[in-house]
Each structure stands twice: as structure tokens, then as C-alpha cells.
Amino acid sequence: MESFNLPLDLSKVQSALNPFLRTLYSNPIFDTLKPSNASDSIAAFLFLLSALGYTTRGRLWDKPDPCYKVWFERPQLVDGASSNKTTVSRNVAHRLDEGNYQVVIFWGSQSGTAERFAETLGRECHARLGINALVADLSDYDADTIAEISQKHLAIFILSTYGEGDPSDNATGLWDWIKRVKDQGTKVDNLRYIALGLGNSNYKYYNRVLDVVVETLDTAGARALMPPQRANDAEGATEEDFQAWKDDLFTLFRGMGYEQKTVAYQPTISVEFGEKVENYKADTMHPVSAHHQKTSLNSAIFPLTIRSSRELFTAGDRNCIHMELDLGNSDLVYKTGDHIAIWPCNPDEEIEQMLETLGLKDRRKDTLAITALDDSSKPKVPSGSTLEAALRHHLEICAPISRKTVFELAQFSPTAEAKSMLSEIGQDRVRFEKFTASRHITLARLLHIASPLEPWSALPLSFLVENLLSLQPRYYSISSSSVISPRRIAITALVVNKNVADEDGSTIHGLTSNYLLSASKLPSNAKVVTPTFQHTAGTSTEGYKVFAHVRKSKFKLPITSSTSLILIAAGTGFAPFRAFIAERAKLHALGKPVGRMLLFFGCRSPSSDYIYREELERLQETLGDKLRIVTAFSREGNDRIYVQDRVAEESETVIEMLDAGANLYICGKASMAREVDGKIEETAAQRKGLSELEVKSWTDGLKKRGKWKADVWG
């Protein structure tokens, strides 16, 4: 390319600047800064010009575009309930007064159950008792304003507990406030409240969130109008426990002067059909992301490309997938030990059955105009979605149905026989339990059983949207190290297919695990047919994409690499330990000091489901005596040995390592973790001569110091 030289006549520049510079330097402040030549004058001018530009940016030039944010808004948020969040006060006491509410129903939900219960309770309070109730997501309000709620109002808490006694993600603000109330001795004398806890007694800290909140509020002077009650998912009784609690609550309300009445169905949202959209692109932006909040714990949702997949089981009729997801150019980051949440979609077969049962197959591409009919309603489906997209991406159509829903469905029955059947099952708890004990009853299957020939054309879509859960993500422990693989996340997923002993020989397919199996393109080892799913494709050279977000975890390696580790896992509970050991091996190869590691791993058989066996053998070669592996096989030979049995055999070593400063980690089913806890505590009591209370104090101390951690599920 030809270049051009443009000579600069410094004398002309100097002449042009002289008037401006004479005025400037006439100020005594600039006496020492007078330029001695043309170059100094130009430099001084350019410096002043730059300073002027910097100080006036955003006011005189480069003003921000007030409509700039519109480029990044989700269309469904513009008209939906979520768009009103910014205008609503975060002071719940003010909100109660402004909206003329008598009751506030707070919910803390991890999987959506507590949220659904709160919405149901709010609707029934209004319809049956005339009580105006505010259904409140705890993350929408500043928790410290709960103390400002007056005596004329009533607060109801529906709180879930998951993991090791942890609050749900949206209840972290409440949890922090409860701690402050307890530590600072804050008083909440005006608060009247009622509380229900949702938990699973398989976990060691069953309903801990409820217990801590209730104890703290009572100590702070709040008055409980009913004893706290607990719903237990371990017995499959969550729905029935909620119904029994609600009956007691309504009895209390009637005693307070409210008159209960029987009313017909009154929707809280309006759902109307709009225009038909033949080429609706539901996969261009994951619809569920409209209901997901980026928080300090959860990242935003991103589409991640599947880079590789492989089968981990070597025999048998089950699948266990190792899948690697490419973070690409996304802002997504993770740390070793974090969780990844996979957002699935519903399978084609379930969607088709629902459309056929409703008699709406020809309207699958019609859009839905959805609006809230009161301030507390939050539609689960964004307005503008097609009916098919709502069933595929937004609603848990594969979930079992509740007895309450069965009873309420009866009023929309297409035949007298269907109405009689549903009324009888819905009114009788024993009959309902017998009806559902040997079969997996989803909404579509129930409708088909009750009326196999006549479609449910009288069933309002608003009832469908209100009574089905929002589609929720499923969480997996990340099995890769962020140190070794910062831009790829590995998942270790067991594909779940539970056989139901009924006359149809039906199977309950794990939704997300089968979704991942389908996306992996690996063959199924199961004897049943894998459901078919719609997937989001990448470019011509890329694989499918899955939508995911990362949730921060406290299940972390110690800062000091020389700290010894005790790792206890069964099955896919080994996932985070694969990352832990690989990271330690990398540090060891670099010459860094690493602590001793004792790994307990349990599975069925070394010949079928000993996952990552070859990797572990290579890691052991690298680490030498730094890694010791103790295995337990529950289906090998005549003896069934479980991982807790091996821990009992090695409990002396475990105690010695803990006393020497080791960190203990447990990952797997909650029942296994509880057994392991018991074995270690039993040995500690014998070895140290401790009482039951002293042993509990010892283990609690380790956990508070972060030396004993668990990542478990039901």
C-alpha cells in the first residue's frame, strides 16, 4: 500500500494556539508551566483537550442512550408479571398496607413445591375465605422488613430444607436475617406467624430451616398461632401433609371469624389463544430463563455445546454418561466442587399424549396470551409462547399428580363416569394411595384413564398452568477441575429408569438423565425405549447444546494442598472427587506438596459399574502413596459390602486423620451419608470416651470449621 507523508508546520500550529495559550498562561498559577517551544505548546494543548473530554463525557458528548437496555430485554418480560418487579417496594410491611392484604405467604423453594403450595394456599384463602393474601417470593423482599409487619397482619412461612440443612436459594436473605436476629437479640414482638416445613427425613438435618426459623422467631418475641408442622418427602407424603396442615389452618381462620364457602374454580390468570405461528423458534432462547434469577449463588443460563460423551458402565442394563460441555465465549465460570444445573425439556411422547387428551393437537402452534388477574400471580408461561412450547419448556407435565388436583379436575369431566371416578379418588386418601401406588400417574395419564374416548375440551388452560409445576433444572456435581479444565465442564450422570409394577408394565423415566442420554447420541443399555426429545443444535461442526447454569457450592478443596483428605462416595457421588484427585495429581506433578488422600468408593460390581476405574489407576500411579483406594461392592459374591461398612472397618484411621487435621467429604445418597456419620461417631465415642452429646459437639465443631462436608441427595 502506498503511504503519504503529511508534513506538520509547527510554526503555524504555534500561531493558531497563541491566543488561547496567552489567556491561559496569564493566570499566575501557570507561570512555571509556560512552554519554551512549539512542541511544548502542542503537548500542553493536547493534554488540556484530553482532560476536558474526559470530564465532560456523558454530559456534553457520548450521552447514554436511555433506550439502550431494550436491546437486552427479553420480550416476554415486557408485559409479564416479572417486569413489574422493579416498581414494587421491597419493604413487605409497606406492600401489605398498600395492597390491603391481611396475610402474607412467604415461600422458600428449591424444586418448586413450596412455591406451588404457597400459590395454592393464596388462591384458596381468597376464594374460600375472602382473605386477601400476598404470595411472596422471599427473594423479592428485604428480610429485615419482616420485623415491621404489624399485628393486624399474619405471616405464613412455607420453607424447604435441602442438602445438609441448607435453605433454598431464594431464602438466603431470610437465613441471613434470622442469624442477625439471633446474634443481635432483635425483637419482633408484633409478628404473628404460622410455619410449615418441607423436608426429607432421610437427611440428617431434616427440616432444619423450619426449626431454626421457628426457634429464632419465638425467642425474638413472635407469636406462633399454630404449632409448626413438617411435610416428609421420604414417605411420599408431602402433598397429604400439606393438605392436612391447610385443613388445620382453615379451621384456625374460621375460629378468627372468617366464613368458609364452597366456590367454583376461579382462575388467577387469563389464558387465551392467539395467532398460529408455524415456525415458532423455541430453541433460539431458552424460555425457562425468563423465570431464572441470576444471584450470588447462581449464574445466568447459557447454551453450552456438548463436546464429547462416553459410556462409563461396562456391563448391565443401565447407562452412566460422562459428558463434557464447552463454555466457549460465554461469561460462565466455575470452581472445582461447584454444581451445574441442566434445564431439560419434556419428551415428545408426553407432549403428544397431553395434546391428544385435551383435544388440542390442531392448536399446538397457536400462541397463548397470558395475563395475571391479581398482583400476586406469576404466570409460569410467558405470554406469546405456543401451546407446544408451554408443554415442552415450561411445565412439569411428567410429574405425578396430587389428590387435591384429582378432586378439582372432576368439575371439568367430559363424562359423568369420569366425574364420579375422580371425585371418589380425590375425596378418599386411602383410595388415592391405592390408585397411585402401582402406577405413575401424570396429569395426561390421569385424564386418559378417566376418559379414554372423550377429550377434556372443558378443562381451562388456566387450570392446567396453575396446577402444574414450573419445569425445574436438575443439579449435578461437576466432575472436572477448573484448574485443569477451566473452559470445559464435565458431568457424570446416571440414567434413571424405574419400573412400575402395574398391569401396563410402565416405566418412570428420569427426565433430565434421559434428556442427556438422548443429547449424547449414545445407545441405551436399558430394556425400555428411551423417550425422544427436541434438542438445540449447534453449527454444522458442533454437537447439540444444552441450557445450563452454575451454582456455587461450599464443597471445596482446602486452600492448603498439603491438607489430607478423606473422600467417601458411592456411585456417581464420586463425581466431585474425580476433580479433587485430578487437581491434587496436577499439583503433585508440578512438585507442589499434597496431602495424603483416603478414598472410599462403593458400587455394585467391579465388572460393571466401577466408573473411572482406569483413570483412578493412572492417578494412583502418579500420586503413589499419597492416594489409597478402599472399594466396596454390593453385588459381588455372596456378601453385600457397602461403603459405610468399609468406613467402619477403617474408622480408626479416619479418626486419626481427622485428629491430625484432615478434611472429610461425603458425596452420595443421604441414607448412605447418615450411615457413614453413625459409623464414625460410634468409633469416636469409643476411642475418645465421649458421651452422645460430646460426640455431637465434636462432629458439629468439625462441620462449623469446614473440616467435615457433605454433598448429598435424597
Please report the DSSP string for 36-63 in residue order: SSHHHHHHHHHHHHHHHHHHHBTTTBSP
**Residue 44: band (very low, low, confident or very high) from pLDDT cuts 50, 70, 90:** low
- Closest-CA residue to 156 (of 181, 178, 136): 136
| Domain presence at residue 559 | no
38 and 90 within one domain: no
Q: How many domains does the chain have?
A: 3
pLDDT at residue number 136: 93
| Domain presence at residue 631 | yes
Residue 213 pLDDT > 90 = yes
Residue 350 pLDDT > 90 = yes
Range 36-44 average pLDDT: 63
Measured between its terminal Cα atoms, the distance across the chain in Å is 70
- Assess contact for 419 and 447: CB atoms under 8 A: no
**Rg, Å, the chain Cα set:** 31
Q: Which of residues 202, 225, 255 is at a domain's end?
A: 255
**What is the arrangement of strands in the sheet containing 663-669, beginning at the earlier edge strand?**
627-633, 597-603, 565-570, 663-669, 708-713
**Residue 711: band (very low, low, confident or very high) from pLDDT cuts 50, 70, 90:** very high
| Domain, as residue range, for 656 | 565-713
* Amino acid identity, position 527: K
Q: Which of 22-31, 64-73, 392-401 has the lowest mean pLDDT?
A: 64-73
47 and 182 within one domain: no
**Residue 110: band (very low, low, confident or very high) from pLDDT cuts 50, 70, 90:** confident
| Domain presence at residue 600 | yes
Burial category of 67 from C-beta neighbours within 10 Å (exposed 0-12, middle 13-18, buried 19 and up): exposed
pLDDT at residue number 458: 95
Beta bridge partners of 104: 134, 155
pLDDT, tens digit, 9 for 90 and up, residues 216-246: 999 999 999 999 999 988 777 788 899 889 9
Beta bridge partners of 474: 342
509: left (phi over 0), alpha (psi -120 to 50) or beta: beta
| Domain presence at residue 448 | no
pLDDT, tens digit, 9 for 90 and up, residues 138-179: 999 999 999 999 999 999 999 999 877 889 989 999 999 999
CA 246/CA 239 separation, integer angstroms: 11
| Domain presence at residue 8 | no
Grid coordinates of 315:
456391563
Percent residues over pLDDT 90 in the chain: 64
CA 8/CA 19 separation, integer angstroms: 20
Residue 59 pLDDT > 60 = no
201 and 55 within one domain: no
pLDDT at residue number 19: 58
CATH number of domain containing 672:
3.40.50.80
Q: Which of 141-150, 333-342, 517-526, 529-538 has the lowest mean pLDDT?
A: 529-538
- Closest-CA residue to 365 (of 388, 333, 336): 388
User: Alpha helices of 633-712 — where are they, by DSSP H?
Assistant: 643-649, 651-659, 670-688, 692-704
pLDDT at residue number 68: 39
- Assess contact for 324 and 541: CB atoms under 8 A: no
| Domain presence at residue 192 | yes
Range 444-467 average pLDDT: 94
59 and 136 within one domain: no
CATH number of domain containing 235:
3.40.50.360
Residue 2 pLDDT > 50 = no
pLDDT at residue number 6: 41
* Amino acid identity, position 453: L
623 and 680 within one domain: yes
Q: Which of residues 199, 230, 255 is at a domain's end?
A: 255
| Domain presence at residue 342 | no
**Residue 28: band (very low, low, confident or very high) from pLDDT cuts 50, 70, 90:** low
User: What residue has cell string 509547527?
Assistant: 10
pLDDT at residue number 670: 87
CA 653/CA 658 separation, integer angstroms: 9
C-alpha pair distances (Å), 222 with each of 155, 189, 190, 217? 10, 5, 7, 5
88 and 34 within one domain: no
56 and 192 within one domain: no
Grid coordinates of 240:
397429604
**Residue 57: band (very low, low, confident or very high) from pLDDT cuts 50, 70, 90:** low
- Closest-CA residue to 137 (of 366, 324, 378): 378
| Domain presence at residue 612 | yes
Higher pLDDT among residues 287 and 234, named by residue: 234
C-alpha pair distances (Å), 43 with each of 49, 50, 251? 10, 11, 84
pLDDT, tens digit, 9 for 90 and up, residues 581-637: 999 999 999 999 999 999 999 999 999 999 999 999 999 999 999 999 999 999 887
102 and 37 within one domain: no
Residue 66 pLDDT > 60 = no
Instruction: Give me the chain's average pLDDT, please.
Output: 86
133 and 57 within one domain: no
Higher pLDDT among residues 242 and 5, named by residue: 242
Please report the DSSP string for 418-449 in residue order: HHHHHHHHHH-HHHHHHHHHTS---HHHHHHH
Q: Taken in order 92, 299, 572, 609, is the CA torsion positive or negative?
A: positive
Count CB-CB contacts under 10 A for residue 177.
20
pLDDT at residue number 269: 92
225 and 178 within one domain: yes
Q: Which of residues 224, 255, 286 is at a domain's end?
A: 255
Higher pLDDT among residues 177 and 123, named by residue: 177
569 and 666 within one domain: yes
130 and 32 within one domain: no
